[in-house]
């Protein structure tokens, strides 16, 4: 009887697994999965200022490396040549099938001038419902 209580108190499992804690990869992108981290699914294909609005934008390529249809929440920061943050933006991409490639754009609502760089700061991947 005492052994059963100890097992339940210290080593028992309810059958539920906690999701892994987010970690920071070498690139600074938050990721929560080891085998196919969400950050590995996203790359920046272009980073530029819109000539008519001066808003910064990053074109993104998303490849779903997981085994399930997924939704993505992606954040990007825009940096001036001296490293100063000049804006941030984000995008949501839904229902990306396994192995499928999707393209999207993240834009900053803040005007900028000069040369900029774009950096993905976070990628979250969720299983698509239905």
Residue 9 domain-assigned?
A: no
Q: Residue holding tokens 């980073």?
A: 47
CA–CA dist 49, 89 (Å, integer): 13
Query: pLDDT by residue (tens digit) across 30-85?
Result: 445 557 899 999 999 999 999 999 999 999 999 999 999 999 999 999 999 999 99
- Token pair recorded at residue 130: 């239905």
Residue 7 domain-assigned?
A: no
Biggest CA-to-CA distance, the chain: 75
Average pLDDT over residues 97-107: 97
Residue 15 domain-assigned?
A: no
Number of separate domains in the chain: 1
Q: pLDDT at residue 4 above 60?
A: no
What letter does residue 53 receive in the DSSP assignment? T
Give the three-state DSSP class for 116. strand
Interior angle at CA 60, CA 64 and CA 101, nearest 5: 30
Q: pLDDT at residue 9 above 60?
A: no
**Structural domain span for residue 48:** 24-127
Give the CATH number for residue 52.
2.60.40.10
Write down the mean pLDDT value for the chain: 80
Q: What pLDDT, on the 0 to 100 scale, is given for residue 109?
A: 93
């Amino acid at each position: 009887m005492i052994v059963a209580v100890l097992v339940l108190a210290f080593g028992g499992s309810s059958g539920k697994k906690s999701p892994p804690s987010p970690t920071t990869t070498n690139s600074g992108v938050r990721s929560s999965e080891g085998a196919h981290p969400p950050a590995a699914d996203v790359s920046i294909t272009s980073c530029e200022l819109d000539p008519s609005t001066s808003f910064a934008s990053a074109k993104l390529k998303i490849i779903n490396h997981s085994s399930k249809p997924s939704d993505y929440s992606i954040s990007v920061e825009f940096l001036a040549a001296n490293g100063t943050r000049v804006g941030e933006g984000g995008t949501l991409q839904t229902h990306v099938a396994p192995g499928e490639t999707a393209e999207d754009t993240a834009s900053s609502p803040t005007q900028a001038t000069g040369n900029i760089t774009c950096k993905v700061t976070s990628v979250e991947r969720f299983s698509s419902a239905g």
